[in-house]
């Protein structure tokens, strides 16, 4: 009885795992928006998480957009219909895709065994996420400077049998010409595995 | 008395006559003027005076009849008419003036009243003001007196305070002296402290007294509070009692109304009771009637049911009649069919027996025929199987024939090839034999030369060199001859090898080889196709792994329609539109300016 209780205490459920992934995406995307200079730095406010100081946007429009998108994504992650989440940075003037941050989602464990739980300690997962976020923060060193007016979009790659919610539309996959890509570390909750890859336009 | 009265009347009559005479005289001379004056005078005097004047006019009219010349009369008449007109106009004016005067009088009266009222009011206000003035004067006097008193008091106070100041100064000096004394006497501090303690104790006592007084007060207040609460409770209880009483009153009123209603009802009931016996009789009558009606109703229902039943039966009968006619028709038809069938059966059975035996006969014949059919079908099946086997054999034979024909064709082609080969070989052989002949001729010539040379060597000194050269030539030629021999041998071998293969039966071996090769070819083709597919797959994979290309591997890409990029683009478009509009505006302005210049 006590062991079961302890198990229940330390286990991560499918929903919890989706929550962790969405939290990571929220912090990661905010960090990218700050690091890549898409929005003025004064519109960001520092927030402490994963043992790091991450700058989060205070723009209400961005916050609302992210919360809507990630809320929908959470549902899809629970349904196992998402294969990839892409943050696409586009030049507003020429509509050219400058950068694409791919967050590839893989599902681990058996989906059919009822209540799926993970025994992986939360601290370890957070450490893994911290490493990825550090890499994202340091990616500024090699990514080319975005010296034009750019904006971003979040595209979610799903399987075929997904009903389109209201206010959502289908999008074209973003291709980058003359591209180069860098693979970051990945983290896993033993239910979802998330791999982060940045693909950017090579100026040379 | 009566005499006096008569005298006065007489006087009046005389006076009247006299005045009338004088006025008549006046009328002759200044009738209009006098009248105007009199009328103007009458305005000033009382209002009732014009009546005697009118009487006078009448008198003057009467007097005119006896005056002499008609011209004068006419003139007088015209004057008279004029005078009358003026009298009328003057009377009008008088009445108008009277009206005006009355209005004026009214106005004057009103104004007079207003003025009087104002005067009263002013008088009152003056009196009030005078009163106030007197009061103020009194107050002034009082204030002056008070001022004097206060000044006196102030002086006294000043004196007193100066005295006090002096006293205090004195006491200060004394205190200073005392303090000095105290300072000198250090021991005198203790009694001071003791005094202080005593004072504090007294203060404490006073405080305690105060506290006790407060406590007492609190107790009293509590008592009062308690009393008040009791009073409040009493009042609440009373209020409740009042409400109860009110409710009770309402109930009583309701009961009273009920009683009135009951009284009414009792009256009606009494009336009804009076009519009870009659009603009972009626009731009995009605009951009897009711029973009768019920029975009638029952009878009616029974009849209705019967009618309904009969109707149903009628419809059923109709349907059955129809059926009957149909069945009769069918029966006649069937009888006809039966006769036909019987005739047919008789024809089949070839018998003229009675109808009873006919079905048995027919059955037996049918069975016989069925058996016959069975045997025939079995025979047919056998024959079909035989036909199949034969046709299969024929097919096999055909295929063999085809194979043999193919073989024949191949053999023919090989034979032709071989003949051509033989032909070529013979040609070659001819060439070779000719060459051989030529070489033989050469050899003979060389031998001849050799013999000649041998003769010459014996005769001449330069023999060894020539011999050496000829030896070399001979060796060379021998080598060539050897080569040719080898070639000839080889060709002969070839010929021999070719000839036996041409004659031996090599067809099955070749067929096997061909089939094997065909199999191999097919296998290779299959492998080739497989490899091509694999290559295509790999190419597709390669494309998908190409950096920067984000191909969809099934599934769909979704995003929020209201994303920041779309928003940014919309803003930009708006901006561009605005700028374009501005540009157009500026262009227009520019044109206008250009046109103006």
- pLDDT given at position B461: 47
Fold for the domain defined by A10-201: Cell Cycle, Spindle Assembly Checkpoint Protein; Chain A (3.30.900)
Beta A117-118 vs A179-188: how paired, if at all? unpaired
What is the DSSP secondary structure assignment for residue A145, as one 8-state letter? P
What value does the mean pLDDT take over residues A154-182?
Answer: 85
What phi and psi values does residue A146 have, to the nearest 5 degrees?
Answer: -90, 90
Q: Which residues pair with B557 in a beta bridge?
A: A157
pLDDT band of B254, cuts 50, 70, 90: very high
Of B547, B555, B563, the CB nearest to A180: B547
B556 vs A contacts (CB less than 8 Å): 157-158, 160, 162, 170
pLDDT band of B596, cuts 50, 70, 90: low
- pLDDT given at position B306: 94
- pLDDT given at position A58: 92
Quote the strand ranges of A40-176, DSSP E: 44-49, 52-57, 82-91, 97-107, 117-118, 150-158, 168-170
Query: Which of A77, A151, A176 best probes binding to B when mutated, by most B CB atoms within 10 angstroms?
Result: A151
- pLDDT given at position B65: 53
Distances (CA, A) of B50 to A18, B61, B103, B420, B434: 130, 17, 21, 192, 207
pLDDT band of B207, cuts 50, 70, 90: very high
Give me the half-sphere count of Cα atoms (radius 13 Å) on the Cβ side of residue B560: 21
B552 vs A contacts (CB less than 8 Å): 157, 173
Sequence-distant (6+) residues with CB within 8 A of A164 are A170, B558
C-alpha–C-alpha distance, residues B327 and B321, integer Å: 10
Instruction: Verify whether the Cβ–Cβ distance A151 to B554 is below 8 Å.
Output: no
Nearest alpha-carbon partner for A31 in A15, A5, A52, A9? A52
Alpha-carbon torsion, ordered A20, A26, A27, A30, to 10 deg: 170
pLDDT digits (tens, 9 = 90+) for A86-107: 999 999 888 888 899 999 998 8
Q: Which residues pair with A195 in a beta bridge?
A: A104, A186
- Helix/strand/coil for A56: strand
The answer to whether the beta carbons of residues A184 and A197 sit under 8 Å apart is yes
The answer to whether the beta carbons of residues B358 and B349 sit under 8 Å apart is yes
pLDDT digits (tens, 9 = 90+) for B473-494: 778 878 887 887 888 788 778 7
pLDDT of B204 over the 60 cut? yes
Of A69, A177, A180, the CB nearest to B560: A69
C-alpha–C-alpha distance, residues B206 and B193, integer Å: 19
Query: Where are the domains positioned within chain A?
Result: 10-201
How much is the mean pLDDT over chain B?
83
- Helix/strand/coil for B71: helix
Q: Which residues pair with A46 in a beta bridge?
A: A55
What phi and psi values does residue A97 have, to the nearest 5 degrees?
Answer: -80, 120
What value does the mean pLDDT take over residues A25-34?
Answer: 92
What value does the mean pLDDT take over residues B176-187?
Answer: 80
Query: Which of B543, B545, B547, B550 best probes binding to A when mutated, by most A CB atoms within 10 angstroms?
Result: B550
C-alpha–C-alpha distance, residues B489 and B484, integer Å: 8
Instruction: Verify whether the Cβ–Cβ distance B555 to A62 is below 8 Å.
Output: no
B557 vs A contacts (CB less than 8 Å): 86, 155-158, 170-173
C-alpha–C-alpha distance, residues B388 and B89, integer Å: 167
Residues belonging to chain A: 204
For A69, the token pair is 């998108």
pLDDT of A7 over the 50 cut? no
Burial class (CB in 10 A: 0-12, 13-18, 19+), B31: buried
C-alpha–C-alpha distance, residues B408 and B241, integer Å: 143
The answer to whether the beta carbons of residues A187 and A134 sit under 8 Å apart is no
- A188-192, B383-387, B515-519 — which one is most confidently predicted on average? B383-387
Give me the half-sphere count of Cα atoms (radius 13 Å) on the Cβ side of residue B485: 7
Nearest alpha-carbon partner for A190 in A6, A1, A10? A10
C-alpha–C-alpha distance, residues B6 and A77, integer Å: 150
- A175-179, B36-40, B117-121, B483-487 — which one is most confidently predicted on average? B117-121
Terminal-to-terminal C-alpha distance of chain A = 64
**Percent of chain B with pLDDT strictly greater than 70:** 81
pLDDT digits (tens, 9 = 90+) for A121-143: 888 999 999 999 999 989 888 88
Instruction: Verify whether the Cβ–Cβ distance A167 to B566 is below 8 Å.
Output: no
The answer to whether the beta carbons of residues B453 and B467 sit under 8 Å apart is yes
- pLDDT given at position B154: 93
User: How many CB atoms sit inside 10 A of residue B218's CB?
Assistant: 11
A170 vs B contacts (CB less than 8 Å): 556-558
**Residue of B138 and B181 predicted with greater confidence:** B138
- pLDDT given at position B55: 46
Nearest alpha-carbon partner for A79 in A158, A150, A166? A158
Of B559, B567, B572, the CB nearest to A171: B559
What value does the mean pLDDT take over residues B315-336?
Answer: 95
What is the DSSP secondary structure assignment for residue B461, as one 8-state letter? S
What value does the mean pLDDT take over residues B517-543?
Answer: 87
- pLDDT given at position B326: 95
Sequence-distant (6+) residues with CB within 8 A of A195 are A102, A103, A104, A106, A183, A184, A186
For B205, the token pair is 């006592």
Give me the half-sphere count of Cα atoms (radius 13 Å) on the Cβ side of residue B60: 23
pLDDT band of B48, cuts 50, 70, 90: very low
Whether A101 contacts chain B with CB within 8 A:
no
pLDDT band of B501, cuts 50, 70, 90: low
**Residue of B512 and B246 predicted with greater confidence:** B246
Burial class (CB in 10 A: 0-12, 13-18, 19+), A52: middle
Distances (CA, A) of B88 to A6, B34, B402: 138, 15, 172
What value does the mean pLDDT take over residues B435-458?
Answer: 74
User: How many CB atoms sit inside 10 A of residue B221's CB?
Assistant: 10
Whether B1 contacts chain A with CB within 8 A:
no
In this predicted complex, what is the ipTM? 0.80
CB environment B101-111: b (16+ within 10 A), e (fewer):
eeeeeeeeeee
What phi and psi values does residue A37 have, to the nearest 5 degrees?
Answer: 65, 35
**Residue of B453 and B57 predicted with greater confidence:** B453
- pLDDT given at position B3: 57
B572 vs A contacts (CB less than 8 Å): 92-93, 149
Which range among A67-76, A154-163, B150-159, B543-552 shows the weakest confidence by mean pLDDT? B543-552
pLDDT band of B499, cuts 50, 70, 90: low
What is the DSSP secondary structure assignment for residue B505, as one 8-state letter? -
Q: Tell me, letter by letter, the H, E, C secondary structure of B170-203.
A: HHHHHHHHHHHHHHHCHHHHHHHHHHHHHHHHHH
Placement of tokens 């004195």 in the chain: B170
C-alpha–C-alpha distance, residues A50 and A58, integer Å: 20
For B524, the token pair is 């290779």
- pLDDT given at position B59: 47
- What is the H or E stretch that residue A166 is in? none
Whether A178 contacts chain B with CB within 8 A:
yes
DSSP string, B310-334: HHHHHHHHHHHHHHHHHHHHHHHHH
Sequence-distant (6+) residues with CB within 8 A of A68 are A167, B560
C-alpha–C-alpha distance, residues B21 and B63, integer Å: 10
pLDDT digits (tens, 9 = 90+) for B347-364: 887 776 677 777 888 888
Instruction: Verify whether the Cβ–Cβ distance B563 to A149 is below 8 Å.
Output: no
Taking the CA of residue A130 and the nearest CA in chain B, the distance in Å comes to 26
- pLDDT given at position B20: 44
C-alpha–C-alpha distance, residues B158 and B170, integer Å: 18
């Amino acid at each position: 009885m006590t062991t079961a209780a302890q198990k229940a205490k330390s286990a991560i459920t499918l929903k919890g795992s989706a929550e962790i992934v969405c939290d990571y995406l929220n912090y990661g995307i905010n960090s990218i928006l700050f690091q890549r200079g898409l929005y003025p730095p004064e519109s960001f406010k520092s927030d402490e998480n994963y043992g790091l100081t991450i700058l989060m946007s205070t723009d209400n429009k961005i916050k609302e957009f992210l919360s809507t998108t990630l809320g929908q994504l959470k549902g899809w992650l629970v349904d196992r219909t998402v294969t990839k989440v892409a943050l696409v940075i586009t030049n507003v003037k020429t509509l050219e895709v400058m950068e694409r941050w791919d967050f590839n989602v893989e599902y681990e464990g058996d989906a059919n065994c009822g209540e799926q739980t993970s025994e992986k300690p939360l601290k370890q997962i957070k450490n893994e996420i911290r490493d990825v976020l550090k890499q994202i923060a340091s990616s500024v060193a090699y990514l080319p400077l975005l010296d034009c007016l750019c904006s971003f979009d979040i595209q979610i790659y799903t399987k075929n049998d997904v009903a389109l919610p209201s206010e959502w539309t289908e999008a074209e996959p973003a291709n980058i010409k003359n591209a180069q890509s860098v693979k970051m570390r990945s983290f896993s909750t033993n239910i979802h595995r998330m791999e982060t890859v940045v693909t950017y336009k090579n100026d040379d | 008395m009566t005499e006096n009265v008569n005298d006065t009347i007489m006087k009046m009559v005389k006076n009247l006559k006299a005045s009338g005479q004088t006025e008549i005289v006046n009328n002759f001379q200044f009738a209009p003027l006098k009248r105007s004056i009199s009328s103007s005078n009458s305005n000033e005097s009382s209002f009732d005076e014009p009546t005697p004047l009118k009487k006078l006019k009448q008198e003057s009219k009467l007097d005119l009849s006896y005056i002499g010349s008609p011209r004068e009369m006419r003139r007088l008449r015209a004057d008279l008419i004029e005078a009358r007109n003026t009298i009328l106009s003057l009377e009008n004016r008088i009445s108008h003036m009277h009206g005006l005067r009355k209005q004026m009088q009214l106005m004057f009266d009103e104004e007079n009243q207003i003025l009087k009222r104002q005067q009263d009011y002013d008088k009152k206000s003056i009196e009030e003001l005078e009163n106030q003035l007197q009061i103020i004067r009194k107050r002034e006097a009082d204030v002056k007196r008070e001022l004097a008193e206060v000044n006196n008091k102030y002086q006294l106070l000043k004196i007193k305070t100066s005295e006090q100041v002096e006293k205090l100064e004195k006491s200060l000096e004394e205190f200073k002296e005392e303090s000095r004394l105290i300072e000198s006497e250090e021991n005198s501090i203790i009694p001071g402290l003791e005094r202080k303690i005593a004072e504090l104790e007294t203060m404490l006592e006073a405080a305690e007294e105060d506290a006790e007084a407060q406590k007492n007060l609190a107790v009293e207040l509590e008592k009062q509070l308690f009393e008040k609460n009791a009073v409040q409770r009493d009042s609440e209880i009373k209020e409740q009692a009042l409400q109860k009483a009110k409710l009770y009153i309402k109930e009583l009123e309701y009961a009273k109304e009920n009683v009135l209603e009951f009284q009414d009802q009792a009256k009606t009931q009494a009336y009804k009771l009076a009519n009870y016996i009659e009603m009972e009789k009626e009731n009995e009558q009605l009951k009897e009637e009711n029973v009768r009606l019920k029975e009638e109703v029952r009878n009616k229902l029974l009849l209705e049911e019967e009618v309904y039943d009969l109707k149903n039966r009628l419809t059923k009968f109709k349907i059955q009649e129809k059926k009957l006619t149909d069945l009769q028709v069918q029966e006649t038809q069937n009888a006809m069919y039966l006769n036909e069938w019987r005739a047919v059966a008789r024809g089949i059975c070839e018998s003229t027996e009675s109808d009873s035996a006919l079905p048995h006969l027919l059955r037996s014949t049918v069975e016989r025929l069925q058996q016959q059919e069975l045997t025939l079908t079995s025979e047919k099946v056998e024959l079909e199987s035989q036909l199949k086997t034969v046709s299969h054999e024929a097919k096999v034979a055909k295929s063999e024939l085809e194979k043999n024909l193919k073989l024949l064709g191949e053999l023919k082609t090989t034979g032709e090839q071989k003949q051509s080969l033989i032909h070529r070989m013979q040609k070659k052989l001819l060439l070779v034999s000719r060459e051989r002949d030529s070489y033989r001729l050469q050899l003979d010539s060389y031998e001849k030369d050799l013999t000649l040379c041998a003769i010459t060597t014996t005769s001449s000194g330069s023999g060894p060199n020539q011999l050496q050269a000829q030896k070399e030539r001979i060796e060379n030629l021998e080598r060539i001859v050897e080569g040719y021999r080898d070639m000839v041998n080889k060709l002969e071998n070839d010929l021999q090898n070719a000839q036996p293969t041409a004659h031996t039966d090599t067809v099955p071996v070749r067929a096997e080889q061909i089939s094997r090769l065909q199999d191999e070819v097919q296998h290779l083709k299959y492998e080739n196709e497989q490899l091509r597919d694999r290559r295509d797959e790999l190419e597709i994979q390669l494309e998908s792994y190409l950096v920067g290309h984000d191909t969809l591997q099934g599934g769909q890409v979704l995003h929020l329609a209201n994303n920041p990029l779309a928003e940014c683009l919309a803003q930009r478009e708006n901006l561009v539109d605005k700028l374009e509009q501005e540009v157009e505006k500026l262009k227009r302005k520019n044109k206008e300016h250009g046109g103006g210049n």
